[in-house]
Chain A
C-alpha cells in the first residue's frame, strides 16, 4: 500500500510528551491539562482556553529512580510516568487531574506531587485527585457529577479563569465528537476483508488524538480520511488472521506492530488508549445539563475492570464478543501490563469466558510497558496465528 501522507507527522507526535502541537497550543495561549486515566472525562479538559494531554512516556529507558520510589512491583506504566516526571519531561503541563482509577496510578501521581516534579515556574499549577464511581447507577452518576464539578471545573475556573458554562461544555463536546467521528470513520476501514489501513497505522492516529490538542489535529485527520477513501490495499492480504486486542493500557505502537509483523491483523482495539470505546461520540440532548450527560456517557460506556457491579462485569465480555463479530475477528488477544491488578483478574475471567462460553480462540499474554522487539512475544503471536489457521483448516473454511 502507498504510505499515508501524514503518518510520519502522527508518528512524530508520539515521540515526545511535549510534542510539537502541545507547544503550539500553549503558544496560542491555551493551558495544558495533563491526565493519565481513561475515566477522566476528556471534553471537560478541552474547554475553550485549555486542552488535554494524556500522559505517556515514549522511548522509556531505565526506570531506576521510579523503581526506588515505587518498587518493581508497580506496573511499568506508572513507573515510566514517574521516571519521566522526575526527568522533567512533564514540566509543560499546567495542571494534572487524576481520578483514583487504580492504586498504582494514584501513587504515581502522588509521588509526582510530593517530589515536586511538575509545575516549576508555574504559579497557578495544581494537582487534583478525584473519586469516580465503581458502579454504573444513579448514585454513581451523582458522584461523578459532583467530583467533576469540584475537581475539574472549579479549579480550572478559579485558577485559570476557564469558562465552565454549559455553552462552553457543549462546544467542547462538539469538538470532541468531531474527532471521535473521524476516528470512527477511519477505523471502520478495518472491517474490510482486505483492509486499506493497518492496525498499526490506526493505532498511531488514535494515539495522537489522546496526546495532542484536538483542534490542531482536525485538518490532518480529515485529510487522512479522504486519502483512505481512495487508498488501494495490496492485492494480496499480508495477514493470516484477524485479531481483536483487549486489555490494559497500551500506548506503545510497537506492540500492535509486533502483532502485525507476526502475521495477525489488529482489526479492533479494546484497550485503554484504544478507540473502542474511547472514541465513541457523546450524544447530547438539549434538556439535561451537559455535565451530567458527559458523566453518564463515561460511566455507561466504561469498560475498565474497576467497575464492580455484575452488569458491568458481564458487559465487558459481551462487548468483546460484539466487537469481535463487528470487526470479524478470528481470535482475541487478551493482554495485560505486568503487575496490573485489575487486568490480571479481568484477563483471567475474560480469556476463559470468551474461550469457553463464546468459543473464540484466545491468546492471553502479559507484557512490559515498552515492548521493543520481543522474540518471546513474537513467537507466542505466531503460534496463536498458526493455531487459528489450523482451526480454520479443520473447519474447512480456509482458502488455502
Chain B
C-alpha cells in the first residue's frame, strides 16, 4: 500500500481462478479518495440505469448484458498503478465513455420491440455499425444514432474477456469458418442467436475495416431487413482512400446515405447542427494533436489505453455530436499540460519508447498499462489513434456545404483501423517508420491479430523494414475477441521472452510478469 508510483507489487492484487481482484489499490490519501469518489459516481450511474424496470428486463433477456456487471472492474484495470494527473485523465475518459454507453443501452431498450417498445422513439432511431464513423449523422440532431453491436460485442469484450465466445460459437455452429475475424463473427452470432434489440426507422451499414466486417453485415441485414422490416442502406466507402479519383464516389455515397435517412425518418438534414459538430471535431483533433506532440517529448502525458480507447470513442462513435466530449477534451488537455509542465511521469521508470502498431487485442485492452508497469515500456501512440487530422470546414456557406460532403466522406473513409488496413501498403507499412522517427521511438510492438488478413499480409515486410532500420520489433499475436486461442498470459509471455532474451532486461514489477487472470473478467 503506497502513495508513490510503482511502489506496489501490482500482481499481488490478482487471485488464482477468480473473476475479480482481491482488493483495490491504496494510492495515497488524495488519489485514493479521488478514485473512490469516481467509483461512487460510476455506481450512481449504474444505479440510475437499473432503476428503470425496462433495463432490468433487458438484463434478464440479453446474454451480453451480464458483462455490464464488470464495469467498475474495467475502470480498475485501466487505472492500475496510476497516480495524479494520469489517474484523473483516465477517469475523465473512462467515466464519460461509461456514461455514454449507459445512455446508449437505455435508448436501445427504450425503443426495443421486446423491451420498452416505444414506437415513437424507435421511429427516430438510425442504427449504425459498431465500427462505423458516424459523420453522416452530424446533421441530424433530432435523430438518435444507435449501434447495437457496440454494447453487445465491442464494449462487452472490454468488460469481460470471454464475452464474445458464446456468439462466436453460435456463428460457427451455422457453418461460419473459424478463421475469420472474431469481431464481425461475434456480431453475426448475436444476430443469429436472436440476441439483438429490435428497433429503428432504418439502418446504415458500412464496409468498415475489412472483408469480414463487410460480409458480417450481410448476415445482420438479412434479419434486419427481411424479418424486422428495417430498411438498410449499405454505405460503400472506397478502399483506396488516399486516391483523388475515388473521392467523388465517396461523396456521392454520403449524399445517398443522407437522402436515405431523410426518406425513412422524415427528418431533414440540418446544416447548422452539422457545422456545430464539425467545430467540435476540429477541437478534438487539435487536442489529440497536442497530446501526440507531447508524446514526442521525453514526457508523454496522454498515451496507452488512455489515448486508444478514448480516441476510438470520440473520433468515430461521437464525431462531434456530443458536447460532453468537448468538455472532457478540455479537461484532459489541461491535466496533460499541468503534468507536462512539472515533467511528471506515469511510472517510476521509462525504459523504452514504443510505437504500438496493428490491431490491439480487444480482450486485453489494459495490456498497454501492463507494458508500462511491468517493463517500463511507454506506448507513445498506437495505430488506431493515428487517424485523420484534417480540419473540417466550419462556416456555413454554399461552397462549404459542398466541401462538407467531401469532409464527411473523408472521415468515413478514414475510420479507425480502416484508414490503415485499407488504402495500400503506404498507410500501413511506410507510415509506421515515419511515426517511429517522429516519436523518437526505440521499439515497435506489433500486434498480430491472427485473423486480420490485411495486417498478416504485410508480416514479412514489417520484419524486413525493422531489420533495415535497426528498430527492435516484437510480434504480439492474439485473436482479438477470443482469449481461448491466445490467453492474456500468452500475450504477456511474448513480451516477457522478448524483453529477457533480446533486451536482456528484468521487469520493473516482477509480480506482473505472470498473472493468474485466465478466468478473470
A366 within 8 A of B: yes
A237 within 8 A of B: no
CB within 8 Å of B: which of A263-318?
A: 305-306, 308-310, 313
Q: Are A352 and B457 in contact (CB under 8 A)?
A: no
Q: Which residues of A lie under 8 Å from residue B219 when comparing CB positions?
A: 345, 348-349
A110–B238 Cα distance when bound, in Å, is 18
Q: Which residues of A lie under 8 Å from residue B429 when comparing CB positions?
A: 114
Per-residue A-contact encoding for B447-461, CB less than 8 Å = 1, 0 else: 010110110111111
Nearest to A139 among chain B residues (CB) is: B252
B393 within 8 A of A: no
CB within 8 Å of B: which of A241-270?
A: none
A104–B210 Cα distance when bound, in Å, is 10
Q: Are A348 and B174 in contact (CB under 8 A)?
A: yes
Q: Which residues of B lie under 8 Å from residue A71 when comparing CB positions?
A: 448, 456-457, 459
| Stretch of A19-27, A29-37, A141-149, A375-383 contacting B (4+ beta carbons < 8 Å) | A141-149
Nearest to A149 among chain B residues (CB) is: B245
CB within 8 Å of B: which of A303-352?
A: 305-306, 308-310, 313, 336, 338-339, 341-342, 344-349, 351-352
Closest approach, in angstroms, between the C-beta of B206 and any C-beta of chain A?
A: 9
B445 within 8 A of A: no
Q: Are A366 and B175 in contact (CB under 8 A)?
A: no
A134 within 8 A of B: yes
Which has the most chain B C-beta neighbours within 10 Å: A70, A140, A347? A70
With A342-B215, A344-B180 in contact, is A139–B253 under 8 Å at CB? yes
Q: Are B249 and A139 in contact (CB under 8 A)?
A: yes
Q: Are B248 and A150 in contact (CB under 8 A)?
A: no
A178 within 8 A of B: no
B71 within 8 A of A: no
| Stretch of B92-100, B281-289, B417-425 contacting A (4+ beta carbons < 8 Å) | B417-425
Q: Which residues of A lie under 8 Å from residue B176 when comparing CB positions?
A: 344-345, 348
Complex partner residue of A364 from B175, B210, B234, B421, CB under 8 angstroms? B175
Q: Are B211 and A102 in contact (CB under 8 A)?
A: yes
A309–B180 Cα distance when bound, in Å, is 21
Q: Which residues of B lie under 8 Å from residue A133 when comparing CB positions?
A: 236, 249
With A139-B252, A140-B236 in contact, is A313–B218 under 8 Å at CB? yes
Per-residue B-contact encoding for A60-98, CB less than 8 Å = 1, 0 else: 000000001111011000100000000000000000000
Nearest to A366 among chain B residues (CB) is: B177
Q: Are B456 and A100 in contact (CB under 8 A)?
A: no
Q: Are A306 and B459 in contact (CB under 8 A)?
A: no
Interface SS of chain A: helix
B142 within 8 A of A: no
A54 within 8 A of B: no
Q: Are B456 and A134 in contact (CB under 8 A)?
A: no
Q: Are B457 and A104 in contact (CB under 8 A)?
A: yes
A135 within 8 A of B: yes
Q: Are B460 and A108 in contact (CB under 8 A)?
A: no
B212 within 8 A of A: yes
Q: Are A341 and B453 in contact (CB under 8 A)?
A: yes
A129 within 8 A of B: yes
B243 within 8 A of A: yes
Closest approach, in angstroms, between the C-beta of A301 and any C-beta of chain B?
A: 18
Q: Are A310 and B457 in contact (CB under 8 A)?
A: no
Q: Are A310 and B450 in contact (CB under 8 A)?
A: no
Q: Which residues of A lie under 8 Å from residue B450 when comparing CB positions?
A: 73
Q: Are B210 and A110 in contact (CB under 8 A)?
A: no
Q: Which residues of B lie under 8 Å from residue A194 when comparing CB positions?
A: none
With A111-B461, A348-B174, A348-B176 in contact, is A342–B211 under 8 Å at CB? yes
Q: Are A341 and B459 in contact (CB under 8 A)?
A: no
Q: Are B214 and A308 in contact (CB under 8 A)?
A: yes
Per-residue B-contact encoding for A112-141, CB less than 8 Å = 1, 0 else: 001100000000000001110111000110
A12 within 8 A of B: no
CB within 8 Å of A: which of B219-274?
A: 219, 221-222, 225, 232, 234, 236, 238-240, 243, 245-246, 248-249, 252-253, 256
A107 within 8 A of B: yes
Q: Which residues of B lie under 8 Å from residue A308 when comparing CB positions?
A: 205, 207, 214-215, 217-218, 234, 236
Q: Are B238 and A131 in contact (CB under 8 A)?
A: yes
Q: Are A107 and B457 in contact (CB under 8 A)?
A: yes
Nearest to B451 among chain A residues (CB) is: A73
With A133-B236, A344-B179 in contact, is A142–B453 under 8 Å at CB? no
Q: Are A352 and B175 in contact (CB under 8 A)?
A: yes
Nearest to B205 among chain A residues (CB) is: A308
A346–B179 Cα distance when bound, in Å, is 14
A387 within 8 A of B: no
Q: Are A74 and B215 in contact (CB under 8 A)?
A: no
Q: Are A341 and B181 in contact (CB under 8 A)?
A: yes
A374 within 8 A of B: no
Nearest to B224 among chain A residues (CB) is: A310
Q: Are B459 and A69 in contact (CB under 8 A)?
A: yes
A134–B180 Cα distance when bound, in Å, is 20
B216 within 8 A of A: yes
Q: Are B460 and A111 in contact (CB under 8 A)?
A: yes
Closest approach, in angstroms, between the C-beta of B250 and any C-beta of chain A?
A: 9
Q: Are A139 and B256 in contact (CB under 8 A)?
A: yes
A357–B450 Cα distance when bound, in Å, is 34
Q: Are B459 and A68 in contact (CB under 8 A)?
A: yes
Q: Are B236 and A150 in contact (CB under 8 A)?
A: no
Q: Are A351 and B175 in contact (CB under 8 A)?
A: yes
Q: Which residues of B lie under 8 Å from residue A134 when comparing CB positions?
A: 207, 214, 234, 236
A243–B456 Cα distance when bound, in Å, is 35
Q: Which residues of B lie under 8 Å from residue A150 when comparing CB positions?
A: 245
CB within 8 Å of A: which of B166-192?
A: 171, 174-177, 179-181, 188
Q: Are A345 and B253 in contact (CB under 8 A)?
A: no
Q: Are B460 and A336 in contact (CB under 8 A)?
A: no
Closest approach, in angstroms, between the C-beta of B126 and any C-beta of chain A?
A: 17
A157 within 8 A of B: no
Q: Are A74 and B249 in contact (CB under 8 A)?
A: no
Closest approach, in angstroms, between the C-beta of A114 and any C-beta of chain B?
A: 6
Closest approach, in angstroms, between the C-beta of B352 and any C-beta of chain A?
A: 26
Closest approach, in angstroms, between the C-beta of A393 and any C-beta of chain B?
A: 27
Q: Are B422 and A100 in contact (CB under 8 A)?
A: yes
Closest approach, in angstroms, between the C-beta of A136 and any C-beta of chain B?
A: 10
A103 within 8 A of B: yes
Complex partner residue of B456 from A70, A306, A336, CB under 8 angstroms? A70
CB within 8 Å of A: which of B127-177?
A: 171, 174-177
A182–B489 Cα distance when bound, in Å, is 60
Q: Are B424 and A110 in contact (CB under 8 A)?
A: yes
Q: Which residues of B lie under 8 Å from residue A135 when comparing CB positions?
A: 234, 236
A68–B463 Cα distance when bound, in Å, is 10
A104–B455 Cα distance when bound, in Å, is 10
A304–B188 Cα distance when bound, in Å, is 20
With A139-B256, A339-B179, A348-B174 in contact, is A310–B453 under 8 Å at CB? no
Query: Can you identify 24 A-B contacts, CB atoms within 8 angstroms?
Result: A70-B459, A100-B422, A102-B211, A106-B454, A107-B458, A110-B457, A110-B458, A111-B460, A115-B461, A129-B240, A133-B249, A139-B249, A142-B252, A146-B249, A306-B214, A308-B217, A308-B234, A309-B234, A310-B232, A341-B180, A345-B212, A345-B218, A347-B177, A348-B174
Closest 6 CB pairs of A and B: A107-B457, A69-B460, A345-B215, A344-B177, A134-B236, A341-B211
- Interface residues of A, Cβ cutoff 8 Å to B: 68-71, 73-74, 78, 100, 102-104, 106-108, 110-111, 114-115, 129-131, 133-135, 139-140, 142-143, 146-147, 150, 305-306, 308-310, 313, 336, 338-339, 341-342, 344-349, 351-352, 364, 366
New A-B contacts (11) at CB < 8 Å, excluding given A74-B457, A344-B180: A68-B460, A106-B239, A107-B458, A143-B238, A308-B214, A313-B218, A338-B179, A339-B177, A344-B177, A344-B179, A352-B174
- Interface residues of B, Cβ cutoff 8 Å to A: 171, 174-177, 179-181, 188, 205, 207, 210-212, 214-219, 221-222, 225, 232, 234, 236, 238-240, 243, 245-246, 248-249, 252-253, 256, 421-422, 424-425, 429, 448, 450-451, 453-454, 456-461
